[in-house]
Structure 1
Amino acid sequence: MTLHNIISSSNSIIPLINTPPSTPLAVLACKVAFSTKAPPRPYHQVTSSPPTRYLYSSLGFSASSSSSTIPIIPNSFFSPSLRYPYTTMSSGQSFTLSNGVKIPGVGFGTFANEGATGETYKAVTCALNTGYRHLDCAWYYLNEGEVGDAVKDFLAANPSVKREDIFICTKVWNHLHRPEDVQWSIESSLKKLKVDYIDLFLVHWPIAAEKETQEKPKIGPDGKYVILKDLTENPEPTWRAMEKIYKEGKAKAIGVSNWTIEGLEKLLKYAEVKPHVNQIEIHPFLPNQELVDYCFKHEILPEAYSPLGSQNQVPTTGEKVSENQTLNDIAKKGGYTLAQVLIAWGLRRGYVVLPKSSNPARIESNFKSIQLTDEEYEAVNKVAEGRHFRFVNMKDTFGYDVWPEETAKNLSA
């Protein structure tokens, strides 16, 4: 990309005035992106790691689900051959799913606060200009249209980048678990994202709910979702619909999100196509080691959402992730941001990380590649050791708790 491309593809060059000559090109692109008026959101509703055989076997340690030790993966494991060819500021580490599909190791989370119309378009444009080639989306985020507009405009302005160079994930929401609704969901996402296929399609939660309409979940008298008990307890019909979408080529890979070991064990018994991914909350306050190991063992790539630990939330320990002294000391001593430390820690553990931000400087810095020394990596592991606190639990919205044992022990938000 040239500076001419950036200027000619935007509606304004005002943000370039008084910008220091030394400003990185990606930052200039983000300044333009965040000054450009985004298309309206017309549909807004109110409402691996490499598979086990590649990683664990090559390093000589077990992927047993009973393991409680976070393994040290040497920096030498991440060879140049793993690099993703379209990134510019990051090492571009990628992973290979069990079906051979490549997935960039650092994705850009697109969740945005409701009502922030236009912010997703700006943030995604900035991320793409920075070099991200992996976008994590969902029906629930209500902004797939803005993501699609940003991707379409970026590709038009950058003809050297093709659709197949951008990995797009989206997810089916709880009220769309009936087979016909799963089909509606993928078609809706394809239309809004303005693409012919999705790279990765996930079942967002292991919870099925009634729908008011396909655009709106049904809410009961208690203000919570009306749960479809039979489909929640036996999601085989939902997964059969996911497999159909995969076999039709509308999704290059399929998977789940927020699924437990127990849920995965049931799914694997009847799945004709095994889930390629399980997207779960992972950070030093919730290392999720047993589940991560289980996924590796069964060639399911873990993806970490909230890899920075929902930094503004305070768990029952009274300590924020962003205020942990050890983590901040590692960042300060190494000249990194705290986010860079946490992203590098996740990558070295062997899974995809999905940071999100609407701040141009943070979008850029999160994508910069760093490699933790063994000492730094072990220091983060010690912070994670023995911790288990979940920031994302929508039990009060759903009226259904995926992790009741954690709630009982006050280990969940």
Structure 2
Amino acid sequence: MSEDFTITSTVTLNNGVEMERFGLGVWQAENGEATPAVAAAIKNGYRLIDTAKAYGNEADVRTGIEQGIAEAGISREDLFITTKLANPDHGYDSTLANFEGSLERLGLDYVDLYLIHWPVTGKYKDTWKAMEKIYDQGLAKAIGVCNFNQETMEDLLTDANIVPAVDQIELHPLLQQPDMVQYADDHNIHLEAWSPLGGGKVLNNPVIGQIAAKYGKSAAQILIRWSLQMGFTVIPKSVHEQRIIENAQVFDFALSKEDMDLIATLDEHYRTSYWLTSFDWYTGDAK
């Protein structure tokens, strides 16, 4: 795999759509924080913006997109916008109705990628049929899922007409999910890394710190670069313009094979998000 990336480098998804390898996530961007963050990201060269109905900030993202487009002198077609279906909205008719709601809040005629946020048991197959209709109508340039493992993906594929283009899952050096990475590669499903910076335990890992010192980079920049070299799309979240700029300063170096091999030894199946301990992956309900 090439290690020569830029901020607008893309991957070709399984339906031929080009998706950026690097972008901005806005999970937990609240109280209007998403608007200046999205605008700053677009102004500073970001082209992929990832939101979700469950984040409660699609309307703020809309304003940020409008401001960013104006400041950067680009068009909507230059951007890759992702949003997601929330857990309570699963089901065929509900998916169609809620997708329209997302489009309205985002002020868009289409999204580039629409994702099922979680695999709600007993519902995600009907939901996927609605996603396929949305795709067939051209309202989403690509469709995919989040947080599907091999079991749920296999179950989905038994009835699917369209293979998901993307699976967005938690990925960072302490949670490398090699079996899922291989499965996705075997099925031509592109992986997108959420929580790529992994919180304090990952950012403060001494090995990551040693590697960061070696390259004269921050721990966050090492983690982002690792995701890129692993082949993932990576969407670090920040609401501070200087951090948004710093997160994008990862295209002037490459991690050596020795350092990539060293990072490969760090996997300890560590999930960063505290709420996953009280969340049922398969029902989408709190335990």
Scaled by the length of structure 2, what TM-score is found? 0.93
- Superposed CA deviations along residues 334-387 of structure 1, whole A, max 9, x for unmatched, are 101111111111111111111011122211111112311222222212223xx1
Identity of aligned residues (%): 39
Tell whether 2:102 aligns with 1:189.
yes
| Residue of structure 2 equivalent to 1:360 | 241
CA shift, 1:186, in A, is 1.2
C-alpha distance in 1, partners of 2:72/2:77? Answer: 13
State how far apart, in whole Å, the 1-side matches of 2:274 and 2:92 are: 25
The AA in structure 1 aligned to 2:190 is L
Secondary structure in structure 2 of the residue aligned to 1:383: coil
> Post-superposition, which runs of at least 4 consecutive aligned residues in structure 1 deviate over 6 A?
none
Q: Counterparts in 2 of 1:190-205, with a 5 A limit?
A: 190-205=103-118
Distance of aligned partners of 1:394 and 1:184 in 2 relative to their CA distance in 1, 3 Å threshold? farther
Aligned to 1:129: 43
| Corresponding residue of 1:271 | 160
- CA distance 1:192–1:291, shift in 2 (3 Å): same
Cα distance in 1 for residues equivalent to 2:114 and 2:140: 6
In the alignment, which of 64, 73, 92 is matched to residue 150 of structure 1?
Answer: 64
Q: What is the distance in 2 between the residues matched to 1:200 and 1:111?
A: 16
Q: 1:249: which partner in 2?
A: 138
Q: Kindly provide the amino acid, as one letter, of the partner of residue 111 in structure 1.
A: W
Q: Is the 8 A contact 1:395 1:402 kept in 2?
A: no
Classify the secondary structure of the residue corresponding to 1:233. coil
Q: Secondary structure at the match of 2:81?
A: strand
Letter in 1 for 2:228: L
CA contact (8 A) 2:119 2:281 kept: no
The correspondence of residues 283-298 of structure 1 with structure 2, limited to 5 A, is 283-298=172-187
Distance 1:275 1:297 in 2: 13
Find the aligned partners of 2:49 and 2:227 in 1 and give their Cα distance: 17
Q: 2:31 aligns with which of 98, 117, 128?
A: 117
Q: How far is 1:240 from its partner?
A: 0.4
Change (3 A) 1:401 1:158: closer
**1:397 Cα deviation after fit:** 5.7
Write the deviation string for residues 309-332 of structure 1: whole angstroms up to 9, x where unpaired.
Answer: 122xxxxxxxx1122111101001
Q: How many angstroms does 1:179 deviate by?
A: 1.2
Gap regions ≥5 residues in structure 1:
1-72, 84-89, 208-231, 312-319, 404-413
SS of residue matched to 1:280: strand
Counterpart CA distance in 2 for 1:402 and 1:321 is 26
Counterpart-to-counterpart distance in 2, 1:401 and 1:242 = 20
Name the counterpart of 1:374. Answer: 257
Computed over aligned residues only, the root mean square deviation of the Cα atoms, in angstroms, reads 1.8
Tell me how far 1:155 sits from its aligned partner: 1.9
Q: TM-score, normalised by structure 1?
A: 0.65
Stretches of structure 2 lacking an aligned partner (at least 5 in a row) = none
Shift of 1:234: 5.2
Taking a change above 3 Å as real, the CA distance of residues 330 and 158 of structure 1, as seen in their structure-2 partners, is closer
Shift of 1:393: 6.3
Contact 2:191/2:232 (CA < 8 Å) preserved in 1? Answer: yes
